[in-house]
Amino acid sequence: MPVNRDKPDLWKEDIAKSVDMYNDWFLKFAPKAFRDSRARATKDVKAALQQTANLTELNPDVLRQHPEMLPILRMATCPPIARDRLIGLSKVSPNLVKCMEIDRCLPARMDGNAISGELEQIVTTIAKMLDPDICVWLQKKKRPSREVLQRGAVVIADRLCGAVADPIVRNAQEQRQLAAIAKWLQARGYGQLPPGRSVKFREMKPGSFAFRVNIPVTLEGGTNVNIPADVAAMPLAAKQDALPVLIEAKSAGDFTNVNKRRKEEAIKMSQLRNTYGQTIKLTLFLCGYFDSGYLGYEAAEGIDWVWEHRIDDLTKLGL
């Protein structure tokens, strides 16, 4: 039985309430999430300064030992350099930079001499562009005081977090949504499977739930891949061979980006149904800016949703 996709007369009111709920959360908690991230980033920046003798010993060997510091170095320049801009300026392999920043390591298959040469090019680019107003000690050629280093580290950390402000807020909101679902399920007798455990969603027992569950699907052509589900919950009254309810936590701070992302759920739903049939359920758990255009698109794809401000609608999924 549909939960909300067949009730367009309620959409306008629910959209307004969802926007209000998101805005209330953002004003109360987003600044703290950003400050906490900035505190962690400041710690990382201080470590990078120590590893490079306050940027006076910036060389390929340091980057080889600590590839994870590259985003910090990009934010220490004037102006701060985007990842792709650094690749262009240094004329280095995109794969090298992405491995250093995303995987926090050097590419395993890249020739060692090539890596050394490209690390040298990165160091040369960064060194030319270090911000003299932040790294004031470089021009004075004096050992910086603790206060000067602290000030510089905070500025660099602020730039680092500013470049990824949206993901920081989105991650904090997602964690809050998952916590709300867990609290709701546990209050009704459900038990959470231990985090980090490899959960086979076809073997989940009634009354259990888990986060970040991989669902194996078969694509066209016979390729087998795993697609992630934020929540998998097996109803208390589930019969033998029943499939768990799958839930995707979705939040949005504006109306623009949701319509760019709306095809993601449709593709995932199609893959699930092609593999497991029409009975499998993928439900969205929404908080924030989801307009009627987004909702209409998802409804047309047969995807339903539960608003976080009406979380008890989860009972309509059989939970």
The yes-or-no verdict on residue 186 having pLDDT over 70 is yes
Task: Say yes or no: 24 and 77 in one domain.
Answer: no
What is the three-class DSSP state of 224? strand
Is there a cis peptide before residue 79, judged by omega within 30 degrees of 0? Answer: yes
- Domain hosting 112: range is 35-164
CA-to-CA distance for 280 and 302, rounded, in angstroms?
11
Structure tokens that stand for 194 in this block: 């231990």
Helix or strand run (H / E) with residue 300: helix 292-300
Q: Is residue 218 part of a domain?
A: yes
pLDDT at 13: 94
Task: Say yes or no: 112 and 223 in one domain.
Answer: no
Under the banding of pLDDT at 50, 70 and 90, the label for residue 197 is low
Task: Say yes or no: 63 and 112 in one domain.
Answer: yes
Task: Say yes or no: 73 and 155 in one domain.
Answer: yes
The yes-or-no verdict on residue 185 having pLDDT over 90 is yes
CA-to-CA distance for 94 and 288, rounded, in angstroms?
35
CA-to-CA distance for 18 and 27, rounded, in angstroms?
14
Mean pLDDT of the chain: 89
Task: Say yes or no: 42 and 144 in one domain.
Answer: yes
Answer left, alpha or beta for residue 54, where phi above 0 means left and psi between -120 and 50 means alpha: left
Task: Say yes or no: 41 and 144 in one domain.
Answer: yes
| Sheet with strand 224-233: strands edge to edge | 191-192, 208-218, 224-233, 245-252, 282-288, 304-307
Q: Is pLDDT larger for residue 152 or for residue 307?
A: 307
pLDDT at 200: 83
pLDDT digits (tens, 9 = 90+) for 250-269: 998 888 777 777 788 888 88
The yes-or-no verdict on residue 95 having pLDDT over 70 is yes
- Please report, for the domain that includes residue 220, its CATH number: 3.40.1350
